Structure 1
């Protein structure tokens, strides 16, 4: 009898959709690395999906394709109607005209002024009028090549900063860009990175206020708070936490439940659905258990007091796997701060100025961000390693072989 897959149907469908969205720009190996699966496993999923067609809620179907085509047509019509002259550089004076002539740039520094007029008035006279020393001017002149070299280095560094900023969808701020540069082998001061980003208008995204989503069940039996806001753990699968958030999709709602390993900050399980019943959090928890190999006896799972987490069905699943439940107080986001922080990052980075028109589009964007978060996004609490890098560097291969 074939061994059951530890990847559920939802995960496989979203993985196929992620591969299709790359449109050949990424290899099976690259996409599989973000998913933390074997490239041949991903290839098999794609081949099976092509043979049987897209699974329900999986890859983009005819309806989502038509919706995307309608969106592109509307965007094209908007661009056609746009006023002339709004493009970058439109309306600038032509070079060589009466307003702007090349070489007329203002140079406020005294050394530059002396250098530009030394042939006409002499260095000694100009230094006397400007009340500066000739020795200082000559020292400045001797450093011309060094300054040009330093400026070229800073220009190259700015381009690299822009590349990192763009690659991470303009979400990284100074600390993560500095960590990324150091990860690439650059020895660069954080204050220098901050100065260059400030001078060139490169800014990461900031936190926004959130809406409350927890709906408590007043008749649910009490569950103790085993964490007491201590979101630390000495080992993997010692403490987990989870929560639910929602995403607006063209007048409807898509709900997302996640399970996070507190030690590595990795999202070990998640589930998405158009409802917020207890099955949503159960599927997320079962995905996390499967990702960790099935043996999670003794792990503490912390959540809020929403009706889904206090339900009898969820309690039975926790008992089946030997999971100890823990819950914070009603109405206190700080009692589940780690999960709240994940939602802030998700909405700031994956949904900034984004209006989802179809469920397939929303699922794909969220799935793509979650795999990026686990495999590549640098986390400040992990010494600016990604969750997967942290697990690989701090835990044994035997343990990691069970991870999804």
Structure 2
């Protein structure tokens, strides 16, 4: 405790400010200056403590998974003073909190530079007026603890926004995609005439599937 704090804590008891300052060898002007300027840091500390308590609660409610950006968003949704993610990150470090860091994403699209690019038949219009007219497809990496990863291929109807077919395997070969398309064909009865839109992954049988011909051919061959 510094001398100014001691005077501030005890001058209202038995001794006045002058007497305590004389005993401690402190000028009264220094004491009064300290008291005028000490209120601001104390107020900031109180605000920081309150914000730290809110951060800790949001972190606990997320089961310890949220990092500074997500916690900042939650605090803004709650209302109250505006706070930025840098301040939240600083306070989290000071109280020993951190979010769960996701592993780096697994690349599932490897373009074949030698393969000619197929045309974009949907023209970047990811909507459909009727089901079984336009689909999108992709492969998702699924990490599995204790064993090799799996890959999920999906065929999603742009009208209903629901999967019409899907398949899972421990590889990304064309068979995985054919199985997903065949599953969609069984669900819809036929995919003939529909348009399939995907990326240009070389390992992905969806590579040419934005052509009506391929959709009909795969379903007819099931």
TM-score normalized with structure 2 length: 0.54
Q: Quick check: which has more Rg, 1 or 2? A: 2
By relative contact order (CA 8 Å, sep 6+), the higher-ranking structure is: 1
Report the counterpart of residue 168 of structure 2 in structure 1: 272
Which consecutive residues of structure 2, in runs of 5 or more, have no partner in the other structure?
Answer: 129-133, 218-222
Of the candidates 197, 204, 207, which is equivalent to residue 92 of structure 2? 197
Q: Deviations over 1:19-58 (max 9, x none)?
A: xxxxxxxxxxxxxxxxxxxxxxxxxxxxxxxxxxxxxxxx
Change in 2 beyond 3 A, CA 1:288/1:276: same
Change in 2 beyond 3 A, CA 1:194/1:148: closer
Secondary structure of the residue that 1:302 maps to in structure 2? coil
Secondary structure of the residue that 1:156 maps to in structure 2? helix
CA contact (8 A) 1:256 1:272 kept: yes
Report the counterpart of residue 161 of structure 1 in structure 2: 58
CA contact (8 A) 1:258 1:267 kept: no
Deviation at residue 255 of structure 1 after TM alignment: 1.6
In the alignment, structure 1 residue 253 sits paired with structure 2 residue 148: yes
Report the counterpart of residue 223 of structure 1 in structure 2: 117
Deviation at residue 128 of structure 1 after TM alignment: 3.5
Which consecutive residues of structure 1, in runs of 5 or more, have no partner in the other structure?
Answer: 1-106, 227-232, 322-404
Could you tell me how far apart the structure 2 residues matched to 1:122 and 1:260 are?
82
CA contact (8 A) 1:244 1:256 kept: yes
Report the counterpart of residue 358 of structure 1 in structure 2: none
CA contact (8 A) 1:257 1:281 kept: no
Structure-to-structure mapping, 1:378-393, within 5 angstroms: none
Matched residue pairs, number?
196
Q: Deviations over 1:144-176 (max 9, x none)?
A: 7x678646632431232322442xx52x32222
Report the counterpart of residue 302 of structure 1 in structure 2: 199
Could you tell me how far apart the structure 2 residues matched to 1:288 and 1:164 are?
39
Q: Deviations over 1:111-167 (max 9, x none)?
A: 6454346569854526935973505415746997x678646632431232322442x
Q: Cα RMSD (Å) of the superposition?
A: 5.3
Structure-to-structure mapping, 1:14-25, within 5 angstroms: none
TM-score normalized with structure 1 length: 0.34
Report the counterpart of residue 95 of structure 1 in structure 2: none
Change in 2 beyond 3 A, CA 1:319/1:270: closer
Could you tell me how far apart the structure 2 residues matched to 1:196 and 1:304 are?
43
CA contact (8 A) 1:242 1:258 kept: yes
CA contact (8 A) 1:127 1:133 kept: no
CA contact (8 A) 2:138 2:199 kept: yes
